[in-house]
Amino acid sequence: MSIWFRQPTLEQLNALSANTLVSHLDMRFIEIGDDFLRGTMPVDARTHQPYGVLHGGASVALAETLASTAAACCVDTARYICLGQEINANHLRAVTSGLVTGTTRPYHIGARSQVWGIEIRDAAGHLSCISRITMATVERRRV
C-alpha cells in the first residue's frame, strides 16, 4: 500500500528543483516506491570538503532534500506545507568520488509531524551516512 497523498513523476520532482541548491549540487530523484524516495548526488569538487572527501553538510543537504520532498508528497500541498524542525546525521564512512545514493522512508506520518530516516550509500553500497529528520506539517497561510 502506498503512503503517498499524491505521487508525482520523477520528471516533476526533478523539475521542481531547478535553480535551487538541489540543482546546484546536481541531486537527482531516481526512484519512487510505495514507501520510499531515492535520489543521487555526485561526490566531486561541489560536494567535497577541503580534505577531498564528501562534506558532511552535503550529505545532510541530500538527506533533507529527499525527506522533505517525500514529506510533501504525503500531504495535500494546496492546504499544508512541510517544514524541517530538526535533523541529525552520523557520518560513518568517507567517500571521495563517484555517486552517493540516498533512500528515505518514514518512521511516522502524523497529522502535525512526520519523522523520516535516510540512508546514504556509496557506489559500492557501503553505508556512508544515516540521518533522521522531523518535519512539521502546518497549514498554509492565506495571503
Instruction: Tell me which residues are annotated as active site.
Output: 64
- What does each C-alpha distance from 55 to 75, 87, 93, 129 come to in angstroms? 31, 16, 11, 11
Tell how far CA 99 is from the center of its chain: 15
- What does each C-alpha distance from 72 to 32, 43, 78, 126 come to in angstroms? 13, 26, 10, 28
All 3 cell numbers of residue 15?
A: 523539475
Cα gap 29→103, rounded to integer Å: 10
All 3 cell numbers of residue 124?
A: 559500492
